[in-house]
Amino acid sequence: MVMGNRAPNKLEWRINVRNGTSEILQPKTGLVHRVWSWLKGLLGEFMLKIWNFLEKARNIAVAEPKKVIHCLKVGVTLTIVSLFYYMRPLYEGVGGNAMWAIMTVVVVFEYTVGATLYKCINRAIGTFLAGSLGVGVHWAASHSGDKLEPIILGISVFLLASAATFSRFIPSVKARFDYGVLIFILTFSLVSVSGYRVDKLIDVARQRLSTIAIGASLCVLMCMLFYPIWAGKELHNLIHRNLEKLADALDGCTAEYFTDSSAGDSWKKIGGYKCVLNSKAAEDSMAGFARWEPAHGRFNFRHPWKQYLKVGASLRSCAYCIETLDGCLNSEIKAPELLRRHLSDACITLSSSASFVLKELATTVKTMRKSSEIDFSIGEMQFAVLKLENAMKSLPNHLVATPSSTSDGDAKAEPIRKTTTPSSVMDILPLATLVSMLTETAARIKEIADEVNELAKLAAFKPPNTKKASQSQSSNQVDEPSNNEERTKGLG
Amino acid sequence: MVMGNRAPNKLEWRINVRNGTSEILQPKTGLVHRVWSWLKGLLGEFMLKIWNFLEKARNIAVAEPKKVIHCLKVGVTLTIVSLFYYMRPLYEGVGGNAMWAIMTVVVVFEYTVGATLYKCINRAIGTFLAGSLGVGVHWAASHSGDKLEPIILGISVFLLASAATFSRFIPSVKARFDYGVLIFILTFSLVSVSGYRVDKLIDVARQRLSTIAIGASLCVLMCMLFYPIWAGKELHNLIHRNLEKLADALDGCTAEYFTDSSAGDSWKKIGGYKCVLNSKAAEDSMAGFARWEPAHGRFNFRHPWKQYLKVGASLRSCAYCIETLDGCLNSEIKAPELLRRHLSDACITLSSSASFVLKELATTVKTMRKSSEIDFSIGEMQFAVLKLENAMKSLPNHLVATPSSTSDGDAKAEPIRKTTTPSSVMDILPLATLVSMLTETAARIKEIADEVNELAKLAAFKPPNTKKASQSQSSNQVDEPSNNEERTKGLG
């Protein structure tokens, strides 16, 4: 406890200590010390922030070394351009043309090849169109007298800038030519109001264009030759990683519900689907950039990037379902133990066959090779749906009036008696939900499979590896020979 | 039917006409005509494309006149800057300083005030930091001899460009200073490798900075004074519009299921929730820009924009649930008519009270005034959940063995008999799912309400309009006096 205590001629602060007496609190060395300790605290806090920041940066660098390589590439390109112009007589100070080369490199060099090409091509088209139009307007204005000149220039700048700015709101323009329109407005304004005569103007434009071309082509070369990062490949990887994440989440969800496994490791796997939910923006931008990329690796020039977006959309739709499923499983109302045990096998079979389909699709996309087993495993998934529905149908006969006091072993061994007093529907509500969510998830996985099939057709994926396929198919037939008839019904 | 027919010395095309004879098909005027008609087709196609494009643009302009106003503002600002520098002696050609003012306007003028301020402030900070650092490096290099100079310059450009590029990958930097870092790299490269002496360099920098300041301040003034579009307000509107969309979707879903209303108009309303699903990117960017905005309208300087993101996240979580609900309701398995009728009232009550809560929350956010009825209506929603659960619990006794051949009137009037043979659980599966989805949706709406409450607290929403509140509360009490006791239980 601290209290102010008035001494005869000055204010003292006293603190009560354990044994009943009190001690006077004194500043140790006065103002200097206080300022020093305050500064020290501030510095410590600052250092801690810097340290955390560096830690975060290090984590990013370790997780994705590609990003570090990209940064080094930017550094090297910029140094080359800077020093080249610094040492050549071409250079005429910061205001000169060298500036445009440096500016081009800084503005145009993007993380992926597609984005860099998009910016380069847009910059080229925008500059060229606006330059020609600007020279035209400039010529017309300069031939129409001193009074009309600023009016013509002003009106043309106003009209073109407004129209071009508006065009950036139109989705199709925004997706492909956003940057080009920006450069168009910039170049047109600069050229049309320039004080040069037309022949001088064309000379300036030629010099500047050549400088920009050098900067841009250096960027493109650096981007494509040294450790290129293709937007298309990133999109491709994103899609098959998302497929795997969904498979893990589905596995994890049901396993957690039925086996009561502790969280920890499994939670991490289940949580993976959350980043699928919000992947639309990333997919859209990557598909947009991938369009500008030349053929690379296993991707041709006209690779069906749009189909990846459709696969992505169906993935998200499935992720919504899994999110709801996850929510329902974590809700407070739990189904009675006996009911859970009754459906546990069928549910786990369905979820594992569904997640197997997802994994198979992930492999199909990853290896770009059609899977010979995919139809078979989809059939198996749909058969599991039927089996689960059958298990549900047989449920009323299994409902037991007494609370589940029997032990695990007994319940499985003993045939369960029919009763005339079925338990409340509320008891089976969570399980019913689980069943329909799983069924709905299976239906949506079927949609994903359709979209992936379409992708395989459009992108001409390689035919399946027949040797392995025939082996596994025959082994499957050995395992479950009796199910074939019922499965055929489920394929419909 | 068209067929090729070989005449003695040339190839003819004949076409069979109705009466059995055939006519010779002849090109009318040869090559010129064909080229002409091809060109006409091409032109027509081109005109159609242009027309569609203009149509699309017109639709955007009609739907959001704000965008047109923004474009006019950009046009006016650019014209002012261009003409000002065109007419003033300050101007020294395209390479001169005027260029920087025009460039600043083109690059910095964004749709919302927040985005414009973000770019201006980032540009200022980036330019200032890089400029000082550049001058320092330039000075150090120029004092270290002719041989060392390019090496020092090269290394410094390489290191800083790489480090700065890498920092753009760190989320916290990316969100706030992405543009500033870009400008930093640009300015540093330009300044450090410039051929000027240091005193000349400072002179150039001062001139250039003042030009940029003029351009930037003109942008900010134009942006803020004439019909300002605030990112914060846009975010605010987005959130309450999304709340309304969810309410409509919920209403539409259950109404469609239980009343078998035809699609058309109702579909439009239901589909509204789909844009809630993918609103994360838009919300994030708007919240990022809103941070830079000064106090405006009903929003203070430290308005809790981050809380809007939390509300948005809870909205999306609810939208996922509604998406699944929508999917389940549209699935092929339909519950038997009698069961549907049994639960119809309880479901419709729940969904309408839930959508009422959402509408109430939308009004709360929209008017920035706490709602006096919100606790009451949340209680009502939770009471409706209980009622629905009770309806489910009483279900087994209502299950009828014979198919529902009784007419609507009979089924309602007659007390339904108890039977000993309950129908299959599969029959109630769709309804059970509907019930748990509705329950889950209600739980998630409760979460939205919590987040909105937190927002109301943080943003100090006005206290509720007590007069209106007491009126409506008393009228509610008159309507349902008997429910109060049970409702209290539901509030827990």
Residues of B in contact with A185 (CB under 8 A): 78, 106
pLDDT at B279: 87
Burial of B213 (0-12, 13-18, 19+ CB in 10 A): middle
pLDDT at A202: 78
Both tokens assigned to A289: 């950039």
Task: Work out the angle at residue A312's Cα, subtended by the Cα atoms of residues A307 and A318, and round it to the nearest 5 degrees.
Answer: 130
CATH number of A231-396+421-491: 1.20.58
Residues of A in contact with B323 (CB under 8 A): 317, 320
One-character DSSP codes across B138-204: HHHHHTSHHHHHHHHHHHHHHHHHHHHHHHTTSHHHHHHHHHHHHHHHHHHHHHHT--S-HHHHHHH
Instruction: Name the pTM for this structure.
Output: 0.78
Q: Is the dihedral of CA B442, B443, B444, B445 positive or negative?
A: positive
- Whole-number Å distance between alpha carbons of B371 and B106: 44
What letter does residue A53 receive in the DSSP assignment?
H
> Is A71–B196 a contact, with Cβ atoms under 8 angstroms apart?
no
Residues of B in contact with A191 (CB under 8 A): 94
Distance of CA A294 to the CA centre of its chain: 23
Task: Work out the angle at residue A445's Cα, subtended by the Cα atoms of residues A370 and B255, and round it to the nearest 5 degrees.
Answer: 150
Cβ(B144)–Cβ(B152) below 8 Å: yes
Of A431-440, B15-24, B54-63, least confident by mean pLDDT is: B15-24
Cβ(A82)–Cβ(B157) below 8 Å: yes
pLDDT at B192: 78
Task: Work out the angle at residue A219's Cα, subtended by the Cα atoms of residues A60 and B136, and round it to the nearest 5 degrees.
Answer: 70
What letter does residue A23 receive in the DSSP assignment?
E
pLDDT at A333: 60
Question: Domain-by-domain residue ranges, chain A?
Answer: 2-61, 64-225, 231-396+421-491
Task: Work out the angle at residue A362's Cα, subtended by the Cα atoms of residues A358 and A367, and round it to the nearest 5 degrees.
Answer: 150
- Is pLDDT at B396 greater than 70 in this prediction? no
**Average pLDDT for B53-57:** 88
pLDDT at A17: 55
DSSP reduced 3-state for B292: coil
Query: How many C-beta atoms lie closer than 10 Å to residue B136's C-beta?
Result: 14
Cβ(B138)–Cβ(A24) below 8 Å: no
Tell me which residue of B281, B303, B276 sits closest to B292, measured CA to CA. B303
Helices (H) and strands (E) in chain A, counts: 19, 3
Residues of B in contact with A279 (CB under 8 A): none
Query: How many C-beta atoms lie closer than 10 Å to residue B384's C-beta?
Result: 25
As a whole number of Å, the end-to-end CA separation of chain A is 79
Which residue of chain A comes nearest to B439, CA vs CA?
Answer: A328
Q: Which helix (H) or strand (E) holds B4?
A: strand B2-6
Query: How many C-beta atoms lie closer than 10 Å to residue A254's C-beta?
Result: 22
Both tokens assigned to B253: 């879903």
Residues of B in contact with A193 (CB under 8 A): 82-83, 85-86, 98, 102
Helices (H) and strands (E) in chain B, counts: 19, 3
Q: Is the dihedral of CA B117, B118, B119, B125 positive or negative?
A: positive
> Is B106–A437 a contact, with Cβ atoms under 8 angstroms apart?
no
Cα distance from A156 to chain B (closest Cα, Å)? Answer: 9
DSSP reduced 3-state for A195: coil
> Is A392–B331 a contact, with Cβ atoms under 8 angstroms apart?
no
Cβ(B111)–Cβ(B70) below 8 Å: yes
Distance of CA A183 to the CA centre of its chain: 29
pLDDT at A2: 42
> Is B190–A159 a contact, with Cβ atoms under 8 angstroms apart?
no
> Is A157–B82 a contact, with Cβ atoms under 8 angstroms apart?
yes
Cβ(A387)–Cβ(A353) below 8 Å: no
Residues of A in contact with B440 (CB under 8 A): 324, 327-328, 331
Both tokens assigned to B295: 């106090």
Q: Which helix (H) or strand (E) holds A31?
A: helix A31-63
Tell me which residue of A491, A477, A295 sits closest to A375, measured CA to CA. A491
Cα distance from B415 to chain A (closest Cα, Å)? Answer: 20
Tell me which residue of B491, B453, B447, B428 sits closest to B321, measured CA to CA. B447
Cβ(B233)–Cβ(B286) below 8 Å: no
What letter does residue A462 receive in the DSSP assignment?
B
DSSP reduced 3-state for B353: helix
> Is B185–A106 a contact, with Cβ atoms under 8 angstroms apart?
yes
- Whole-number Å distance between alpha carbons of B114 and B291: 7
- Whole-number Å distance between alpha carbons of A389 and A385: 6
Burial of A408 (0-12, 13-18, 19+ CB in 10 A): exposed
One-character DSSP codes across A219-261: HHHHHHHSS---HHHHHHHHHHHHHHHHHHHHHHHHHHHHH--
ipTM: 0.78
Cβ(B114)–Cβ(B284) below 8 Å: no
pLDDT at B12: 54
Phi then psi for A272, rounded to 5 degrees?
Answer: -60, -30
Cα distance from A6 to chain B (closest Cα, Å)? Answer: 42
What letter does residue A422 receive in the DSSP assignment?
P
Among the partner residues A195, A278, A324, nearest to B93 by beta-carbon distance: A195
Residue type, A74: V
Q: Which helix (H) or strand (E) holds A12?
A: strand A11-16
- The length of chain B is 492
Q: Which residue has the tokens 């050098």?
A: A214
Higher pLDDT, A407 or B96: B96
> In terms of C-beta distances under 8 Å and separation of at least 24 residues, what long-range contacts does A417-422 make, across chains too?
A420/B420, A422/A396, A422/B396, A422/B422
Q: Chains A, B: CB contacts under 8 A, how many?
A: 260
One-character DSSP codes across B9-21: SSEEEEEE-TTS-
- Whole-number Å distance between alpha carbons of B117 and B219: 9
Mutation target to probe the A interface, by most A beta carbons within 10 A, among B324, B395, B421, B426 is B324
- Whole-number Å distance between alpha carbons of B404 and B139: 94
Q: What is the pLDDT along chain A (492 residues), one digit of tens a residue?
A: 444 444 445 555 555 555 655 555 555 567 888 899 999 999 999 999 999 888 888 888 888 888 899 999 999 999 888 877 776 655 454 346 677 888 888 989 989 999 999 999 998 888 889 888 888 888 888 888 778 888 888 888 899 999 999 988 888 888 889 999 999 998 888 887 776 666 777 777 777 788 888 888 889 998 888 888 898 889 999 998 999 888 888 888 777 777 765 544 555 566 778 888 888 888 988 998 988 888 887 887 788 888 899 999 999 988 888 888 887 777 666 666 777 777 788 888 888 898 888 888 898 888 888 888 888 888 888 888 888 888 877 765 545 333 333 334 344 434 433 333 345 666 677 777 888 888 888 888 988 999 888 888 888 888 877 655 455 444 444 344 344 444 334 333
Which residue of chain B comes nearest to A313, CA vs CA?
Answer: B278
Both tokens assigned to B221: 């003034």
pLDDT at A478: 38
Residues of A in contact with B186 (CB under 8 A): 102-103, 106-107
Residues of B in contact with A194 (CB under 8 A): 93-94
Both tokens assigned to B11: 């190839």
Q: Give B22's strand partners.
A: B16
- The length of chain A is 492
- Whole-number Å distance between alpha carbons of A362 and A349: 20
C-alpha distance from residue B360 to each of A346, B29, B256, B356, B441 (Å): 43, 73, 23, 6, 16
Residues of A in contact with B426 (CB under 8 A): 389, 392-393
- Whole-number Å distance between alpha carbons of A35 and A42: 10
- Is pLDDT at B368 greater than 60 in this prediction? yes
pLDDT at B280: 87
Mutation target to probe the A interface, by most A beta carbons within 10 A, among B50, B73, B78, B83 is B78
Phi then psi for A206, rounded to 5 degrees?
Answer: -65, -45
Which residue of chain A comes nearest to B201, CA vs CA?
Answer: A94
CA atoms within 13 A on the CB side of B118: 24
